[in-house]
Amino acid sequence: SLKMGGYEKVVVNYANELSKRGYNITIICGFARGELISSIRKDVSIVNFQSRMRFFLFPLIKYLKDNKKVDVIYSGFRYYNCTVVLAKIISRSHVKILATQHGFEYQNKFLKTITGYLVRKADKFIGVSKSVLEFEKRELKLKKGTCVYNPVLDNNIKFINVSHPWITEKKKIIFYCGRIAKDKNVDKVIQLFSLIKKDYLNEVKLMILGDGPEISNCKLLVENLKLSDDVDFLGYVDSPVSYFIHGDILIHLSNNEGFGNVIVEALYANLGIIVTECGGPTEIIDNKYGIVIGKSTDKDILEKGKKAICDILNAKLIFNGLKEYTELFTLKKATDRLLEVINE
């Protein structure tokens, strides 16, 4: 769909930039609905299959038969990559397939064998981080692949005016931004914040940007910890960076993360960043642009997290060159690299 998500945002960013460069771009959706529709350029076509993932193959076969001049299909994640390969074979299309992986997926041995067989038939394979690429090559027995970092930042990034009492009062603001789901460990972010509150009292606040299936449980946890005056759930926001520039720290405690678009946005805003060893974010931080505090399952994760927050708030740790570093993750650079891979 076109609901807000890391992969969906990447697709829309690529579509808009390639369209701007004169390419004829179509986004194919199972269901063409969601917050991202309004951000898509008018010259980008949208095809709505009105179909769930498990039934995606048949309309895609028909689409390829009816549109013989399609040059390239960019697909993401194992199921869609396999579906696109099968559709190409059955429709006898000459389309070039860019199979991409945006996260860590786990399958049993039988499914991995089938998935590997089909994905190896794609023309190109891309991992959005080196850790994802190496994982897929190892798991699916792929011989070749390329890393292309996500297009996160628009080259002319636009900030929106945001208003909040904590910004006006110049409070120290800690952020979580992303999907509120079990594997993101937002409950641990809240627990970590509760430990910090004991030292900083009313000076530090927590803003949670995003939505997801665990939001009710997280709100209940905030109430139980008596943090309702210090934690604000803002839901989905159009421009996280516009909030980040008023804050101090981003905390990201995921189990696994293929890339981590929000990490790049936080770097651009010069936030101190605290992450777990979870794949893409660890790679982006590179032990120079933030703090890696161990795996999300470590028993001392909250203790290490508290020390990291205190070191940043007390200016014991200062990170330099964050905004300049994010040039690696601009829309222009990512699209240039994607086109190189297509044309190789």
- Site of tokens 């161990």: 294
Q: Pick the closest to residue 273 from 221, 308, 240, 301 (CA basis).
A: 308
In a domain, residue 160? The reply is no
Q: Same domain for 125 and 175?
A: no
Q: Same domain for 181 and 40?
A: no
In a domain, residue 1? The reply is no
CA gap 262, 240 in Å, rounded: 8
pLDDT in tens, the chain (344 residues): 998 888 999 999 999 999 999 999 999 999 999 989 999 999 999 999 999 888 999 999 999 999 999 999 999 999 999 999 999 999 999 999 999 999 999 999 999 999 999 999 999 999 999 999 999 999 999 999 999 999 999 866 778 899 999 999 999 999 999 999 999 999 999 999 999 988 887 899 999 999 999 999 999 999 999 999 999 999 988 889 999 999 999 999 999 999 999 999 999 999 999 999 999 999 999 889 999 999 999 999 999 999 999 999 998 888 888 989 998 899 999 999 999 999 98
CA gap 206, 208 in Å, rounded: 7
The torsion angle over the Cα atoms of residues 233, 239, 243 and 248, rounded to 10 degrees, is 100
CA gap 319, 290 in Å, rounded: 7
Q: What is the reported pLDDT for 191?
A: 97
Enclosing domain of residue 296: 165-327
**Structural domain tally of the chain?**
2
Using alpha carbons, list the distances in angstroms from residue 285 to 80, 130, 277, 291, 319: 29, 13, 10, 7, 11
Q: What is the reported pLDDT for 155?
A: 67
* pTM summary value: 0.88
Q: What is the reported pLDDT for 54?
A: 85
CA gap 344, 342 in Å, rounded: 6
Q: Same domain for 294 and 193?
A: yes
CATH of the domain at 92: 3.40.50.2000
